[in-house]
A and B are shown apart, each in its own frame.
Chain A
Amino acid sequence: MQKRLLLNSQHLSITISRLCYQLIENHNQFENTVLLGLQPKGIYVAERIKAKLEEVIKKPISLGYLDITFYRDDFRRREEPLAPNETKVPFIIEDKHVVLIDDVLYTGRSVKSAMDAMGAFGRPAKVEFLALIDRAYSRDIPVEATYIGKQVNTVLSQKVLVELTEQGKKEDKIWLIDNSKK
């Protein structure tokens, strides 16, 4: 197994800042915009985006957690049933601009499931998608991110491993792991 570091703490912090300024360009003061982090790891990225945005625009931003377990299309095709996580959407998303946030964009199926899950809370005016890492050329369905932290070309045997301090890690590290090489 080979590991290549994609982002360290410093690079991650710069990436989060850049993503926030891109969001501010499009959403201004976030009067009509809410953030939805996808469970499990997208919520950590979303928390950091929220904190940075609030620091810059000096006002609170609405952030919810969205779990897609019950909306996935691979239920009963896996070895075990999927364990769900908490969904917390304590605001109305009807007619809002929603920014979905996840750590890694791979096949696009999670994003499709997230769109279905979000539909249970209302009909947003517009939906955008922010991915910290975009695994390019690996989509099963035609889904693209509106905001991308870092794009990497990967093959099937490779995997992106996200390690964040929120998970109890000493420091932030995002790795590209290749299982085909020893």
Chain B
Amino acid sequence: MSQLSSKHLLGIKDLTPDDIQLIFETADNFKDVINRPIKKVPSLRDITIANVFFENSTRTKLSFELAEKRLSADVINFSSSGSSVKKGETLLDTVNNILAMKVDMIVMRHSSPGAPHFLSKHIDANIVNAGDGTHEHPTQALLDAFSMREKLGDLAGKKIAIIGDIIHSRVALSNVFALQKMGAEVMICGPATLVPKYITSLGVQVVTDVFEALQWCDVANILRIQLERQHIKYFPSLREYSLYFGVNKQMLDRLDKEIVIMHPGPINRGVEITSDVADSQHSIILNQVENGVAIRMAVLYLLAGANR
């Protein structure tokens, strides 16, 4: 198989295990490309991609832009701040105006869950979801699973703990779908206030003791506390969160095994993870960033091929 089953990447939920495997195999080749002296290939030279970001983003936007440029696509960037969105223009009107400029693909981040799904029903261009509200962030989950596969080999039977602010995270849900499709076991860990009640229905274990999660897992994917999404107090203070749910070096030293530490960034150093853990030899945080470009190149390449 050399083609994705869908012309859009809206979420991991819609992908088959074969799709994920195809994306990984293609990304393996792109990882080789981005480590060459000349890191660019001409594959998408006849494609124009619009990065439409209705929410702030640094690394995801940079990573997509780099991936697009490494594939030789023409790139335009749109951010909602200072745009006609502030004047009351609808999402569909904004995107249709961009498409009228002969754009082939849209990479979109939006604060509303389902926004890219809505667009996919109304426009012809390929859509890549770069994060929709607290719903999904498929390319982050793919790069996370790709990084784990690189470190541990086959993910089948591996134990992955996702620790932190689950309820506000779009990464967590995509991670759960991706890892389960690759045959891994998933555990969720965090304060009860930050773990959604439906999560057990996805077939994951839930614990509130971080050390228990660390003892169980092969990989700890530690998520950021998303203070900007918290409109009520979910825990008394950052200091208390750090004391009860932060991962530090003493905890790792107490384990009778080595585990892999991951974090999708940006890191709140000293809150969910201490600096000595984030920068330790167990951490593959920077590998995740590097792999992000290869995974996004693979996704864009495969979707562009599907849109003839």
B43 at the interface (CB under 8 A from A): yes
Contact A121 B46, CB 8 Å, known A70-B41, A86-B29, A87-B29: no
**Could you tell me the distance in whole angstroms from the C-beta of B94 to the nearest C-beta in chain A?**
27
Verify B42–A80 contact, CB threshold 8 A. Answer: no
Give Cα A119–Cα B42 distance, bound, in whole angstroms. Answer: 12
Q: Which of A26-51 contact B (CB under 8 A)?
A: none
Verify B41–A80 contact, CB threshold 8 A. Answer: no
Q: Write out the residue numbers on chain B whose beta carbons fall within 8 Å of the beta carbon of A60.
A: none
Q: Write out the residue numbers on chain A whose beta carbons fall within 8 Å of the beta carbon of B308.
A: 76-77
Which secondary structure dominates chain B's binding surface? loop
Residues 266-308 of chain B, each 1 if its beta carbon lies under 8 Å from chain A, else 0 = 0000000000000000000000000000000000011011111
**Could you tell me the distance in whole angstroms from the C-beta of B287 to the nearest C-beta in chain A?**
20
Verify B42–A81 contact, CB threshold 8 A. Answer: no
Residues 19-33 of chain B, each 1 if its beta carbon lies under 8 Å from chain A, else 0 = 000000110010011
Give Cα A83–Cα B301 distance, bound, in whole angstroms. Answer: 11
Q: Name the one of B3, B37, B302, B306 contacting A120, with C-beta atoms under 8 angstroms.
A: B37
Q: Write out the residue numbers on chain B whose beta carbons fall within 8 Å of the beta carbon of A77.
A: 308
**Could you tell me the distance in whole angstroms from the C-beta of B226 to the nearest C-beta in chain A?**
36
Count of CB-CB pairs between chains A and B under 8 Å: 57
Give Cα A76–Cα B2 distance, bound, in whole angstroms. Answer: 13
Give Cα A69–Cα B32 distance, bound, in whole angstroms. Answer: 13
Q: Name the one of B32, B33, B38, B305 contacting A81, with C-beta atoms under 8 angstroms.
A: B305
Verify B26–A84 contact, CB threshold 8 A. Answer: yes
Give Cα A76–Cα B43 distance, bound, in whole angstroms. Answer: 9
Verify B43–A70 contact, CB threshold 8 A. Answer: yes
Number of interface residues of A (CB under 8 A): 21
Residues 40-77 of chain A, each 1 if its beta carbon lies under 8 Å from chain B, else 0 = 00000000000000000000000000010111000111
Verify B41–A81 contact, CB threshold 8 A. Answer: no
Verify A67–B29 contact, CB threshold 8 A. Answer: yes
Q: Write out the residue numbers on chain A whose beta carbons fall within 8 Å of the beta carbon of B43.
A: 70-71, 75
A14 at the interface (CB under 8 A from B): no
Verify B37–A121 contact, CB threshold 8 A. Answer: yes
Q: Name the one of A70, A78, A86, A87 contacting B42, with C-beta atoms under 8 angstroms.
A: A70
Q: Which of B91-110 contact A (CB under 8 A)?
A: none
Q: Kindly list the 10 A-B residue pairs having the minimum CB-CB distance in the complex, ordered from nearest.
A: A81-B305, A70-B41, A83-B2, A120-B38, A84-B29, A80-B3, A70-B43, A120-B36, A80-B2, A76-B308
Q: Which residues of A contact B (CB under 8 A)?
A: 67, 69-71, 75-78, 80-87, 116, 119-122
Q: Could you list some 28 contacts between A and B, CB below 8 A?
A: A67-B29, A69-B29, A70-B29, A70-B42, A70-B301, A75-B43, A75-B305, A77-B308, A78-B305, A80-B2, A80-B3, A81-B3, A81-B301, A81-B306, A82-B305, A83-B25, A84-B29, A85-B29, A86-B29, A86-B32, A87-B29, A87-B32, A119-B38, A120-B33, A120-B37, A120-B38, A120-B39, A120-B41
